[in-house]
Amino acid sequence: MFANSELEKVKQLQSAYRRRKKAVVEDAWIDETFLDIDILQFFNRVTKLEATEKQKELLIALSNLDDSTLRKIIISAGRQTGKSLCCAVAAVYLTIKHKLPLLIASAKDNYIYGHIVKIFSDNPELSHYVVTQGVSEIVPKEGYKLKNGSELILLTSTEKGLRGASGRIMFLDEAELMDEQTIITALGNLSGDIKLILLGTPSSKHSKFNDILKDPKKFGFNLFTWSETECSWQKDLDDKKRLMTEDQWKREVLGQLSEPDQRLLWDSEIIDRCIRNRWRDIRWY
Ligand SMILES: Nc1ncnc2c1ncn2[C@@H]1O[C@H](COP(=O)(O)OP(=O)(O)O)[C@@H](O)[C@H]1O
Ligand SMILES: [Mg+2]
């Protein structure tokens, strides 16, 4: 039997041991190798895929927070060509490397965040960066916070959802489906250092995404574009060629505006101006 004082000593030793064990675990959270690699190595490591040349160019531009000419980026490419995946990798990379708020909105299911969830679950060593893990996945379904102070916030892709939202980087996925006002609001949020990335596939209907794609320079955007035909993982292209109209092929596979769209498209700005001018001309009796 221990005397009371000895028992106390054992208890103290036990709790010191527990504290030390916890500290060791907490201190070991950073996997330094993630902080030393560049975005191309990071893409390779977390996806186990080899990026295409066009994807590499995009990844480098996405990870560059210093070059002010890369603040506005538009990505237009065929379907399933890795647009959302590249943005997901860039989002994780940037939040690990820098302390920043990063915002993502998608017109449909948030595929960027879907890829992010998978990146964390395929690379459990990343879990040490996460403040509070999710219930079924390493990152919670509504966005994540990292121990370095970074935060990834998911927003709804409406004018209201984006109004006043402030972050250092904003991704708008499936941007061709977003209301014109939503994109204008996102552009309006741009101040100082903010980086805005629009990604999508040209739409058959009028959209602000198409407007910008028609003349990216005019809107101050850098265009990154590639086609499904450059993506070795894309199969059934012969079937698609047979089934699609020429315009569909151009938009959906090549990621380019089709000829009629290009001819028919009016800049929203011009449409607005026409309506405003007509309105002024109307005389009320
Ligand atoms: N470099 C690559 N090598 C191999 N497969 C890739 C590559 N990039 C993307 N993919 C595949 O394409 C799929 C679709 O990517 P995603 O980014 O969701 O497409 P989208 O262009 O429609 O946003 C990925 O889940 C992945 O399987
Ligand atoms: Mg996508």
- For residue 119, the model assigns a pLDDT of 98
What's residue 285's pLDDT?
43
Q: Which of 52, 85, 251 to mutate to test the pocket of ligand 1 (most atoms within 8 A of CB)?
A: 85
Q: How many Cβ atoms from other residues are within 10 Å of residue 112's Cβ? A: 27
Q: Ligand 2 mean position to 200 CA, how many Å?
A: 7
Which residue, 93, 83, 99, 90, is CA-closest to 209?
83
- What pLDDT sits at residue 189? 77
Q: Is residue 283 part of a domain?
A: no
User: Does the pLDDT value for residue 88 go beyond 90?
Assistant: yes
Residue 65: inside a domain: yes
pLDDT given for residue 215 in this prediction: 95
Percent of the chain's residues with pLDDT above 70: 84
**Domain membership of residue 223 as a residue range:** 50-267
pLDDT digit string (tens) for 137-192?
Answer: 999 999 999 999 999 999 999 988 988 888 899 999 999 999 999 999 998 877 66
pLDDT at 27: 45
250, part of any domain:
yes
CA 112 to centroid of ligand 2, rounded, Å:
7
**Residue 278 within any structural domain of the chain:** no
Nearest CA to ligand 1 atom 24: 82
Residue 23 has pLDDT above 50, yes or no: no
Residue 65 and residue 94 in contact, taking contact as beta carbons nearer than 8 Å? yes
**What is the average pLDDT across 216-237?**
96
Report the nearest atom of ligand 1 relative to the CA of 78.
21
Dihedral, CA atoms, 97, 98, 99, 104, nearest 10 degrees? -90
Chain-centre distance of CA 127, in angstroms? 20
Give yes or no for a contact between 228 and 253, defined as CB atoms under 8 angstroms apart: yes
Q: Report how far residue 37's alpha carbon sits from residue 97's, in angstroms, rounded to the nearest whole number.
A: 10
How many domains would you assign to the chain? 1
Question: Span 239-263, mean pLDDT?
Answer: 90
The whole-number average pLDDT for the span 64-93 is 97
Instruction: Name the maximum alpha-carbon separation found in the chain.
Output: 106
Spatial separation of the C-alpha atoms in residues 214 and 261, rounded to whole Å: 10
Ligand 2 center to 92 CA (angstroms): 16
Residues facing residue 225 across a β-bridge = 76
In this prediction, residue 278 has a pLDDT band, given cuts at 50, 70 and 90, of low
pLDDT value at residue 259? 76
Report CA(57)–ligand 1 centroid distance (Å): 16
Count the neighbouring beta carbons within 10 Å of the beta carbon of residue 208. Answer: 23
Q: Is the pTM of this model over 0.75?
A: yes
Name the pLDDT band for 230 (thresholds 50, 70, 90): very high
Q: Is residue 244 part of a domain?
A: yes
> For position 84, what pLDDT does the model report?
98
Residue nearest to atom 1 of ligand 1 (CA): 51
Asked, for residue 24, whether it belongs to a domain, the answer is: no
Distance 89 CA to ligand 1 centre (A): 11
In angstroms, what is the span from residue 118 Cα to ligand 2's centroid? 14
CATH number at residue 127: 3.40.50.300
* Minimal-distance CA residue to ligand 1 atom 22: 80
- 218 lies in a domain? yes
Q: What is the pLDDT of residues 33-72, one digit of tens each?
A: 788 899 999 999 999 999 999 999 999 999 999 999 999 9
- Average pLDDT taken over every residue of the chain: 88
At residue 25, the pLDDT reads 46
Q: Is residue 188 domain-resident?
A: yes
CA distance 250 to 257: 7
- What is the arithmetic mean of pLDDT over 76-98? 97
Could you tell me which of 226, 247, 227 has the C-alpha nearest to residue 237? 227
Q: At 270, which amino acid appears?
A: I
Q: How far apart are CA 110 and CA 278, in angstroms?
A: 40
Q: Which residues line ligand 1 (CB under 6 A)?
A: 49-52, 55, 77, 79-85, 111, 233
Contact indicator for 171, 105 with CB cutoff of 8 Å: yes
Residue from 46, 58, 80 to probe ligand 1 pocket by mutation (most atoms less than 8 Å from CB): 80
Q: How many CA atoms lie within 13 A of 217 on its CB side?
A: 0
Ligand 1 closest atom vs CA 86: 17
What are 238's two structure tokens? 């012969």
Residue found by looking up tokens 């569909």 in the block: 248
Block residue for tokens 């916030």 = 153
Residue 18: predicted pLDDT: 66
Contact 175, 181 (CB under 8 A): no
Instruction: Look at ligand 1, atom 15, and give the residue with the nearest C-alpha.
Output: 82
